[in-house]
Amino acid sequence: MKIYVNRLKCGSSGHMPFRLVENIGRIDYNREKLHFNSPVIIIGSVERHEDCYMVTGHIKTEIVLECSRCLSSIRHPIHAEFKQKYSESAQEDETLAANRDELDLERPVIESILLEIPIKPLCKEECKGLCPICGSDRNLNDCSCTHEDIDPRMMELKKLLEKK
C-alpha cells in the first residue's frame, strides 16, 4: 500500500493527488483480523513541506464481520478519512518514516478502518441471536426450548409481593 513521491521532489507544485486500489483479501494487523469483501480504494493527496509529507485521504471498502448475536456474516461498508505525516529525517511521535521516495499507507489506512468497526456488530437491529439452550439460530426457526425471560427488576418485585 505504497505511494511514490519522487514526482513531488522535481515538480514545483508540492502537491500530488493519488488514487490507490488494493486487493487485500485478509489481513492480520496487530492481532486484529480483517476480511475484505471488496478492494480498498484510497483517494487522496500528498503535500510536501520541506522534508515532510502530509497525506490525507478517503478510504472506501467493504469488510465482512460476524454478527455478535447469531454469528452470521455481515457485509459492512466502510468510509473513512485519514491524515498522516511522514518525515525523511527526525522521527517524532505520530510521524512515520518516508523511505526514500516511498510512503507506506498501510498503518494509517488499516487503523482508520479498524476505528470504523462497531464493537458489537449486528446483522439486523432486531436479531434474535442463537438459542442459549440448543444453539439454533432463532431468526431462522423457533426452537421449542423454554426460556425464562423474566426481567430482573420484575423478579425483585415478585419476591416482595410474595413476602407479604
Residue of the chain from 24, 67, 96, 98 that contacts Zn ion (CB under 5 A)? 67
- Phi, psi at 17, each rounded to 5°: -80, 155
User: In this structure, what C-alpha cell is assigned to residue 79?
Assistant: 468510509
Closest distance to Zn ion from the beta carbon of 141 (Å): 9
With binding defined as CB under 5 A, does residue 145 bind Zn ion? Answer: yes
With binding defined as CB under 5 A, does residue 69 bind Zn ion? Answer: yes
With binding defined as CB under 5 A, does residue 143 bind Zn ion? Answer: yes
With binding defined as CB under 5 A, does residue 140 bind Zn ion? Answer: no
Q: Which residue has the cell 493527496?
A: 45
Residue of the chain from 70, 78, 103, 130 that contacts Zn ion (CB under 5 A)? 70
| Best CA proximity match to 22, nearest among 112, 105, 111, 116 | 105
d(CA 73, CA 117): 14
With binding defined as CB under 5 A, does residue 64 bind Zn ion? Answer: no
Spatial contact of 105 and 55, defined as CB atoms under 8 Å apart: yes
Residue of the chain from 134, 140, 155, 157 that contacts Zn ion (CB under 5 A)? 134
Residues 114-133 that bind Zn ion (CB under 5 A): 123, 127, 131, 133
d(CA 71, CA 87): 43
Binding site for Zn ion (CB under 5 A): 67, 69-70, 123, 127, 131, 133-134, 143, 145
